[in-house]
Amino acid sequence: MKFTFQFISETVRLANIVPGIFRKAMREIKFKEYTIPAGWAVMVCPPAVHLEPTRYSNPLDFDPWRWEGIDTNSASRNFMAFGGGMRYCVGTDFTKLQMAVFLHCLLTNYKWKAIKGGQILRTPGLQFPNGYHIQVSKKIRQG
């Protein structure tokens, strides 16, 4: 299952469904040369972190092997697909389990081919403006 979870981490890094996480500055915050006034909303943009070339080499490549030996069971400065801190997603383990079951069923029982679409737009959320059509068919088992 190790590689399956590397595959899932890479999927949520590249295809993060959460374009922004919002917080409110409860007091004035100095960050580098910036001052965030008390009461302002702050948006954390996980895709900006997940696609940053200094954190991930060739960030647009789907490369599950990059996660070898890396713990993704909690958030880090480089990985925040499920948020972080006190509001860390309570559905994380459930989501990963569902994805693992889905992948297992898909790969063992079906094959598929791309039909049309597939153009990717990042705004910064992931979008397929022309959709992505695939044809799925049942694998025929021999013997």
Which residue, 143, 115, 142, is CA-closest to 130?
115
Pairing between strand 21-24 and 41-44?
A: antiparallel
Residue nearest to ligand HEM (CB): 91
Enumerate the known binding-site residues.
89
Query: Which residue of 56, 67, 79, 82 would you call a contact of ligand HEM, by CB under 6 A?
Result: 82
Name residues contacting ligand HEM, limited to 2-31 (CB under 6 A): 12, 17-18, 21
DSSP for 61-92 reads: S--GGGGTT---SS--SS--TT--GGG--TTH
Which residue is listed with tokens 């559905």? 91
Name residues contacting ligand HEM, limited to 52-81 (CB under 6 A): 81
The answer to whether residue 87 forms part of the interface with ligand HEM (CB under 6 A) is yes
* Residues engaged in binding ligand HEM (CB under 6 A): 12, 17-18, 21, 81-83, 87, 89-91, 94-95
